[in-house]
Structure 1
Amino acid sequence: MGSSYSAIPNADERDLLAMAVKEPQTMCRSMTFLDKHPNVRHPVHTDTINCIGAVRPGMVLTGSSDKSIVLNNVDTGECVIRWRGHTDSVTNVLYKQSQTRHYVLSGSRDTSIRLWLFNQNTPCEIYTSHKLTVTTIANLEDNLFASGSRDTSVKIFDISRKEPLLSKTINRNLVTHISRIPNTTQICQTSEDRIMKLYDTRNLEIIHEFPVKAHIQNHCSASNDGLYAIASSGGSNGDGCEITLYDLRQRKELRGLKGHEESVRCAIFLPQNITCKSIILSVGDDKTVRLWTKEDSKCIWREQSPTGSTLTSCFGFADGNIVVAGANATFAHLKMNGRAGVPFLHCISLQSTNCMPSTNSRQSFG
């Protein structure tokens, strides 16, 4: 028999996780991290997914460059409803409940905003006040919503009226994103002028402008308590490519979260109960999904894009389920779990035009 033997790895999942967190440069993506491969499904879109809008846990809306909006079942990967009508890319989509009615709002490069019902294939209203691409729409209270466009304007609409209630145009304010600040009558707005602004939605007056940044600001998001906001920065080769954390009470910049190597397209505060720290979720052009802690600005998990595509948007639910989307019709369902209070991600399912499912449901990726 001889004395030779084969070494058997004895590191358990906690040891592997600890090593991955300590050495993020060697971190594997989740589909092979614990030898658990995701389900590969047929894509519901045929082009880049530009935006995600939550309806409820397990159901999200997506808007795509294929000009359609889809209600997705996250668990099964199925297209539940598809709406068509825009003549150019859908740039933003959201779910709105007004009294007993349930609506979908979508913005597009065709300069229009459309209001849809879940039981109708055609829009019940079309808003055409913007002159250029509608880049963002945001849910406000009651029947109201806010919109922003490359025409440098921000508008407030009532869903029952085609014309805006309020409109404000600012020179060079090419709007990239608007987010409502919870528990307030305020919104935050990012722009290609590299400035994040705060508005009062009652009159659209600017309350505050934060100091100008070095790069275009792509996206903004407020914490659920309304005390903090983050803005995602453009950049390349590690220059810029940061997430800026702001204190909304003191109205000052706190610090930058650096680690992405290309433009950060979306960053949000992630509801979760794995750790007592506040977690931020981000995606970007460097084809990574990242988790950060707000308190110390550290990147605690880095995940390669499940399909190897650039990522445009992300959303997370309180139960730990996360959806990310991007180029090549990428739509991936991830789950955030934890070991000893350390969060990590695992990819459950994915779909993309560049990795179609095979007859073997256990298809793996290198």
Structure 2
Amino acid sequence: MGKLQSKFRKRSELYRASEGEKADGALDSQVVQYEPAHHGSVNTITNLSADLCVSGGTDQTVVVYDWKQGRMCQSFQGHNREVTKCYPGSTWIFSASRDKTVLMWDLNQGDEPIQEFCGHQLVVNGLAISPGRKLCTGSRDNCMCLWDIESAKCEQRHNISRNLVTHVCWVPGSSSVVQTSEDKTIRVWDSRAWQVTNTFPAKQYIQTHCDVSDNGNYLVSSSNGFGGQGCEATLWDLRQPGCKVVEYRGHLQTTACCVFLPVPQGGNSAALVATSSHDSSVKVWDQNSACLATLSLDGAGPLVSLAPSDASNVLCASFNSG
């Protein structure tokens, strides 16, 4: 796991390089490498606190990592296949896996899971928690499920043909859930009725990931692809379902992850988006689809997951060396 600390910063502009910037906006690969967090590929990364992140990997392990110090803090082992997604809380963590389960861990109660959610028939790729402490999961078994966290009981289940879920996220301040799918479709769910309320126009390629802006107005999704075909991220206006704002094009292979970046206090309120790709690069974009910066991590292998830590730091998960 490398640290992308302050590599997207310029004296007058955030998310640009302060040194090592090339004429075309590319950044020299000045990444601090730490001891590996995992034995193998890192599949997912998310923030736990200002200094800590949570990651899951092919080694079936969930790790709490101090990315500023470059050291492992805690390790949780309970899955019997690789971990696909992690979701953090204040003192707890949820992890999804190819073993078809979701496990709940408490940072203050040892290294054994305190809850297990079983019911999916295939790998669980979508994982999110509602403000009302409901767990939402999505799987390649075509099912979206809603769980009670306290009892681990599945309260709602909805199967849609060919809806091989790739990612799930809640819309802030609402009862809506957004999910992407291998059927190239983005769906918006009402968590109260557990029904699809909106379906976005299908893209040409599989939708790999999605994220919603803090104000709940915008959605960004990413596409797989190869040779520069597909490989884009798309900004949508959730207030006008299916309304495409811009596309971010520039990656040469599958865009595996797309996230909104935090707006610094007193900074520009326009949405900035970061994307990571199997072409070993991270890009930062403005809302007009201009690429502000590119960081190429040659030798890192596919870059599969991003987690903005604050207004000037982005964490990235790699296939290379844990």
TM-score, normalised via structure 2 length: 0.90
Q: Alignment partner for residue 75 of structure 2, among 74, 82, 88?
A: 82
Say if 1:210 and 1:253, in contact at 8 Å, map to a contact too: no
Alignment partner, residue 248 of structure 2: 257
Contact 2:29 / 2:297 at 8 angstroms: preserved in 1? no
In structure 2, do the counterparts of structure 1 residues 46 and 76 end up closer, same or farther at CA, with 3 Å as the change threshold? same
Instruction: Output aligned runs, 1:126-145, within 5 Å.
Output: 126-145=116-135
Q: Deviations over 1:22-59 (max 9, x none)?
A: 524xx34241xxxxxx5432112111111112111111
Q: Please list the CA deviations of residues 70-95 of structure 1 after superposition, one character each: whole Å capped at 9, or x if unmatched.
A: 00101111110000010000001111
Q: Separation in 1 of the partners of 2:284 and 2:270? A: 12
Match of 1:23 in 2: 24
Tell me how far apart the structure 2 counterparts of residues 306 and 60 of structure 1 sit (CA, whole Å): 23
Equivalent in the alignment of 1:110: 99
Corresponding position of 2:296: 304
| Aligned pairs, number | 305
**Does residue 234 of the first structure (1) align with residue 227 of the second (2)?**
no
CA-to-aligned-CA distance 1:302-329 (integer Å, 9 cap, x gap): 0012653210100113341210012024
Name the SS for the 1:121 alignment partner.
coil
Q: Which of the pair is proportionally richer in helix?
A: 1
- Structure 2 unmatched ranges of 5 or more: 1-9
Aligned pair 1:206/2:196, yes or no? Answer: yes
- Change in CA separation of 1:306 and 1:169 when aligned onto 2, cut-off 3 Å: same
* C-alpha RMSD over aligned residues: 2.0
Amino acid at match of 1:314: L
User: 1:123-202 residue pairs with structure 2 within 5 A?
Assistant: 123-202=113-192
Structure-1 separation of matches of 2:319 and 2:123: 19
1:46-65 matches, within 5 Å, as 46-65=39-58
Measured in 2, the distance between the counterparts of 1:140 and 1:228 equals 18
Letter in 2 for 1:109: R
Query: In structure 2, how many angstroms separate the alpha carbons of the residues matched to 1:153 and 1:276?
Result: 36
**Residue in structure 1 matched with residue 6 of structure 2 by the alignment:** none
Letter of the aligned partner of 1:178 in structure 2? V
Partner of 2:4: none
Q: 1:268 aligns with which of 259, 274, 281?
A: 259
Q: What code does the residue aligned with 1:222 have?
A: V
Corresponding residue for 1:324?
316
Q: List per-residue Cα deviations over 1:268-322 (Å, max 9, x = no partner).
A: 000032545321011010100100001x111110001265321010011334121
Question: 2 CA distance for matches of 1:17 and 1:327?
Answer: 27
> TM-score when scaled to structure 1?
0.79
User: How many angstroms apart in 1 are the aligned matches of 2:194 and 2:81?
Assistant: 29
> Separation in 2 of the partners of 1:150 and 1:222?
22
Deviating 4+ runs (over 3 angstroms): 16-22, 274-277
1:193–1:64 Cα change, 3 Å: same
Q: Give unmatched runs, 5+ long, in structure 1.
A: 1-11, 32-37, 331-366
Contact 1:60 / 1:73 at 8 angstroms: preserved in 2?
Answer: yes
Aligned partner letter, 2:28: R
